[in-house]
Structure 1
Amino acid sequence: MRLFGAIDYPPVWLAGFLAVSWAVGRVFPLPGLPVTGLVLAGVGLALMLAAAGQMVLARTTFVPRRVPGAMVSRGLFAMTRNPIYLGDALILAGMSLFWNGLLALPLVAVFVHVIRKRFIEGEETVLRQRFGPDFDAYCARVRRWI
C-alpha cells in the first residue's frame, strides 16, 4: 500500500488511462479524428500549464493532498474549479481520437469519476475547512468542471 501511495497522483492515473486508450485504438481501431484529437490534447495541456502557473503565482500548491496556501478563484479558476483535471480529461479525449480509439472515449467518463473520488472530493473538503464561507461562495458561482 505504501508503494501505491507514492504513485497515487493524477498524472499517473492519466498515464494509465492513456495506455488503455492507446491499446484500445490498436486492438479495435476505428477511424479517428487525428487533427481534432491533437488540438483537443493541446488545449488540455495548455489549460493544465496555465492553471498550474496561476497557482504558482498565487503561492499555493498544485500537488494533491497538500494544504493550499491560498484559494485561487480568478482567471481560469473563475470558469472551472478544476482546470488542471479538466485539462487531463481533454488530453485523454484528444489522444483517444488521435489513436483511432473511438471505443476508448467512455474512459474519459471513468477517468473523471476516478479523479473526483480520489482527489477532488478530498481537496474540496480541505478547501472548505481552510476557507469556509469564501469557498462555499466560490462553489456556488463556479461549476466543478465547465
Structure 2
Amino acid sequence: MPLVDDDSPQVRFPPPLIYFGCLLLGLWAGRTLEWPVLVGAWPQTLGWVLVGLGSVLIGAALGWFFSAGTNPEPWKRDNALVTKGFYRITRNPMYLGMAFASFGVALVFGSFGAMIGTVVAVLLVDRFVITREERHLAHVFGEDYAAYRKRVRRWI
C-alpha cells in the first residue's frame, strides 16, 4: 500500500491496478466459463486504436500534471488544479484513458469477460476513487474547482 498523505483524497489503492486487476479477472472468467470469443479483424483493429487513444490520454494528462508541479497519484497531496489540454473536455482523462486502453485490450483478445471487467473497473474507480478526489479538490480549491466542475463533465 502506498504511503497516504494526510492532505490528499485518501485513495488507498492505485487506480491502474483496479483496471489491470479487473481486466485480468475478466480474461480469466471468460476463458474459464468458456464465454464466446469475438473474432475478426475489425475488433482487433478497433482494440489497438483504443489502446493507442488511451495511452495518449494518459501520457498527456501525466505531462500536464508534472508541468503544473502536482502529483498524479491520488494518495498524494494536490498542489495545483489542472484544467488545460484534455482536462478542458473531461475531468478525468487519465481514468478515461485507462478505460479506453482496457476495453481495447478486451477487443484485441475478443474477450467478453474482459469487456465486463472493464465496466466493473470503471464503476469501481467512479465510486471509490473519483468521488474521493472530487470531495478533496472541492475542499482544497473551493470556488475554482466548483466553477471547473460546472464547465467540464466527469467523463465525457
TM-score, structure 1 normalization = 0.89
Contact 1:80–1:144 (8 Å) recurs in 2: yes
1:59 paired residue number: 69
Moved more, 35-44 or 13-22: 13-22
How well do the aligned residues superpose, as a CA RMSD in angstroms?
1.9
User: 1:19-98, aligned counterparts within 5 Å?
Assistant: 19-26=24-31, 27-32=34-39, 33-98=43-108
Distance 1:107 1:74 in 2: 30
Give the direction of change, closer, same or farther, for the CA distance of 1:101–1:91 in structure 2 (3 Å limit): same
Distance 2:36 2:66 in 1: 40
Contact 1:44–1:88 (8 Å) recurs in 2: yes
Distance 1:119 1:67 in 2: 14
Contact 1:25–1:100 (8 Å) recurs in 2: no
User: For 1:105, what is the secondary structure of its paired residue?
Assistant: helix
2:126 paired residue number: 116
Distance 1:135 1:56 in 2: 19
Contact 1:65–1:123 (8 Å) recurs in 2: no
Give the AA of the match of 1:82. Answer: N
Structure 2, unpaired ranges of 5+? 5-11
Identity %: 35
After the TM superposition, which parts of structure 1 deviate over 4 Å for at least 4 consecutive aligned residues?
none
Give the direction of change, closer, same or farther, for the CA distance of 1:25–1:98 in structure 2 (3 Å limit): farther
TM-score, structure 2 normalization = 0.83
Distance 1:37 1:119 in 2: 26
User: In proportion to residue count, which structure has more helix?
Assistant: 1
